[in-house]
Amino acid sequence: MAEGYKMPEGFLWGGAVAAHQLEGGWQEGGKGVSIADIMTAGNKDTPRRVTDGVKDGEVYPNHWGIDFYHRYPEDIKLFAEMGFKCFRTSIAWTRIFPNGDEAEPNEEGLKFYDDMFDELLKNGVQPVITLSHFEMPYHLVKEYGGWTNRKLIDFFVHFAEVVFKRYKGKVKYWMTFNEINNQTTWDSPHHLLQDSAIKVDEGTEGMEQMMYQAAHNECVASAKVVQLGHKIDPDYQIGAMIAMCPIYPLTAKPEDIMMAERAMQTRYWFGDLQANGEYPAWLPKYLARNNMKIDMEPDDLETLKNGRVDYVGFSYYMSFTTKYTDDNADYVYTESKDLVSNPYVQKSDWGWQIDPVGLRYAMNWMTDRWHKPLFIVENGFGAYDKKEADGSVHDDYRVKYFHDHILEMEKAVALDGVDLIGYTPWGCIDLISASTGEMAKRYGFIYVDEDDEGNGSLERSKKDSFDWYKNVIASDGENL
Ligand code: BGP
């Protein structure tokens, strides 16, 4: 069906994944243990858990991923067949620095990414690389307390320097931290561990304070890496990566509007820091009111200013909705308490609100606020797929999700003037779910024969959405 919109030439159509969710080979090639390697499986009702090492009888789905570590040439051929211009993945920090604090990198790990990037480039696909996607070295958590410790800044900058130099000429688009703002959900220890790797237990005192300190350190590290990257190669484009779920007020009641505004401020100040290079006005007031303080070095604010990102990469799956409650006179936004269901949108089987217009709204909001080019580096529909006897998967629900979202994306560009670099749907090949550890929550255009326990032939096959997306790319988004 022709909708009349078309993306400009050079637009980066592709797909996205992350190292820990598909590579497998968690102990191969000299790799160290990451946070992701010691996360147990969960499901849609039970969250995953970061454990203190691997125990018998527990299931750790990231150990096997989908064996991309060995099968990437086959997978890259399929991406190229769909017409991908780019492929977003991450470098597993622990393949390069197994513990995170070594002086010398692990050559075998560096070589793995060299070979994989060469394979992509040979197939006409450019790599788009996230430096840290939920898989920091566990050693850095145990020994240093994760990102609450300023020493992590140097370790991360060193890691970035090594890979920036090594892959110069092969990679142009980089991102520092995946979904850096997800740790706003400081009331969930799981998220703190996964995103920021702070070692805390449920109910630990001062977690919010720890979150602000860790976030500050991460943002300073990100700003240093941006400056360093530009020195190593002035052509490098180094972006932020924000988890974007725009938050609507439930009603037009003024208190609900104020609550939604504060929720947006709370969820997206990471973007203010990374794109605008400064803390937003409300934040120091909020910290002072709540007896919290961020420890800073004298030149941190200058570093943040000079290390603004070149673009804002973001994930978009859903919108949120919030409302004011009488016991919250100070409009404090706490994600686990303050979200309500939106009566105007449908939900996926995992309760994620499906809202294509929210994507256009979010793109406008970010453009107005951060004045940077945008890059949609994740978007997609996690669903239970059924593989038929002949191997086909009829995922018309996924095609509909993409159709509706791409159309809104195109309107944002064509009608609203949003500057957009590319679009890489999440989990272009089925992989392990980050939040639940399931294989059953599938996103791919390519089906992988594997179940939640890691059993299956690992055989790859095309879903109906494969040819649909191939057509979209071939027409630069005109034939949806
Ligand atoms: C984002 C993460 C990805 C990814 C995706 C889908 O939050 O950056 O790593 O997994 O969400 O989420 P899930 O796998 O939990 O369905």
Nearest CA to ligand 1 atom 14: 433
Catalytic residue positions? Answer: 378
Per-residue confidence (pLDDT) for residue 187, from 0 to 100 = 60
Query: Which atom belonging to ligand 1 lies closest to the Cα atom of 380?
Result: 6
Per-residue confidence (pLDDT) for residue 210, from 0 to 100 = 85
Q: How far is the CA of 433 from the centre of ligand 1 (A)?
A: 6
Q: How far is the CA of 426 from the centre of ligand 1 (A)?
A: 8
Per-residue confidence (pLDDT) for residue 2, from 0 to 100 = 47
Nearest CA to ligand 1 atom 11: 434
Per residue in 60-84, pLDDT tens?
A: 999 999 999 999 999 999 999 999 9
Q: How far is the CA of 288 from the centre of ligand 1 (A)?
A: 34
**Residue 163 domain flag:** yes
Per-residue confidence (pLDDT) for residue 204, from 0 to 100 = 65
DSSP code, position 143: H
Q: What CATH number is associated with residue 228?
A: 3.20.20.80
**Residue 185 domain flag:** yes
| Rounded alpha-carbon distances, angstroms, from residue 258 to 253, 322, 357, 474 | 9, 10, 22, 44
Per-residue confidence (pLDDT) for residue 196, from 0 to 100 = 55
Instruction: Return the number of other C-beta atoms located less than 10 Å from residue 255's C-beta.
Output: 16
Q: Is residue 3 over pLDDT 80?
A: no
**42-56, 84-98, 230-244, 433-447: segment of lowest average pLDDT:** 42-56
Would the ipTM clear 0.90, i.e. be above it?
A: yes
Domain, as residue range, for 100:
12-474
Q: How far is the CA of 148 from the centre of ligand 1 (A)?
A: 24
Average pLDDT over the chain, rounded to whole?
Answer: 94
Q: What residues have CB less than 8 Å from 111, skipping those under 6 apart?
A: none
Please report where in the chains the tokens 């453009």 appear, as a residue. 367
Per-residue confidence (pLDDT) for residue 479, from 0 to 100 = 95
Per residue in 454-473, pLDDT tens?
A: 999 999 999 999 999 999 99
Burial class (CB in 10 A: 0-12, 13-18, 19+), 205: exposed
Per-residue confidence (pLDDT) for residue 1, from 0 to 100 = 45
Per residue in 264-289, pLDDT tens?
A: 999 999 999 999 999 999 999 999 99
Return the SS3 of 289: helix
**Residue 480 domain flag:** no
Nearest CA to ligand 1 atom 15: 435
Distance CA 69, CA 122 (A): 18
Per residue in 305-326, pLDDT tens?
A: 999 999 999 999 999 999 999 9
Query: Which atom belonging to ligand 1 lies closest to the Cα atom of 433?
Result: 14
Q: How far is the CA of 435 from the centre of ligand 1 (A)?
A: 6
Q: Is residue 356 over pLDDT 80?
A: yes
Query: Which atom belonging to ligand 1 lies closest to the Cα atom of 178?
Result: 8
Answer whether 48's CB lies under 8 Å from 126's CB: no
Per residue in 177-221, pLDDT tens?
A: 999 998 776 665 555 565 555 555 555 677 888 889 989 999 999
Contacts of 71-75 with CB under 8 Å at 24 or more apart are 71/458, 71/460, 72/116, 72/119, 73/119, 74/460, 75/429, 75/446, 75/460
Q: Is residue 478 over pLDDT 70?
A: yes
Which of the four pLDDT bands, split at 50, 70 and 90, describes residue 367? Answer: very high
- Ligand 1: residues within 6 Å at CB? 18, 21, 178-179, 243, 315, 378, 382, 426, 433-436, 441
Nearest CA to ligand 1 atom 12: 434
Q: How far is the CA of 131 from the centre of ligand 1 (A)?
A: 16
**39-48, 91-100, 349-358: segment of lowest average pLDDT:** 39-48
**Residue 239 domain flag:** yes
Query: What mean pLDDT comes out for the span 347-362?
Result: 96
Q: How far is the CA of 73 from the centre of ligand 1 (A)?
A: 24
**Residue 479 domain flag:** no
Burial class (CB in 10 A: 0-12, 13-18, 19+), 246: buried
Nearest CA to ligand 1 atom 16: 433
Total domain count for the chain?
Answer: 1
DSSP annotation string for 341-382: --TTSEE-TT--EE-HHHHHHHHHHHHHHH-S-EEEEE----
Nearest CA to ligand 1 atom 2: 434
Q: Is residue 292 over pLDDT 60?
A: yes
Name the H helices within 8-135. Answer: 19-22, 68-82, 93-96, 107-122
**Residue 254 domain flag:** yes
Query: Which residues does residue 314 pair with via DSSP β-bridges, in sequence order?
Result: 242, 376
Q: How far is the CA of 18 from the centre of ligand 1 (A)?
A: 9
Query: Which atom belonging to ligand 1 lies closest to the Cα atom of 18?
Result: 9
Query: Which atom belonging to ligand 1 lies closest to the Cα atom of 441?
Result: 16
Q: What residues have CB less than 8 Å from 441, skipping those under 6 apart?
A: 44, 350, 382, 383, 384, 433
Pocket test for ligand 1, best of 35, 66, 133, 378 (most atoms within 8 A of CB): 378
Per-residue confidence (pLDDT) for residue 183, from 0 to 100 = 77
**Residue 5 domain flag:** no
Percent pLDDT > 90 in the chain is: 86
**Residue 3 domain flag:** no
Count H helices and E strands in the chain, helices first: 15, 14
Per-residue confidence (pLDDT) for residue 199, from 0 to 100 = 54
Which of the four pLDDT bands, split at 50, 70 and 90, describes residue 335? Answer: confident
Nearest CA to ligand 1 atom 9: 434
Answer whether 102's CB lies under 8 Å from 148's CB: no
Query: Which atom belonging to ligand 1 lies closest to the Cα atom of 432?
Result: 14
CA nearest to 319, candidates 362, 271, 266 = 362
Give the Cα-Cα-Cα angle 337, 60, 315 (nearest 5 degrees). Answer: 50
Nearest CA to ligand 1 atom 5: 434
Per-residue confidence (pLDDT) for residue 203, from 0 to 100 = 58
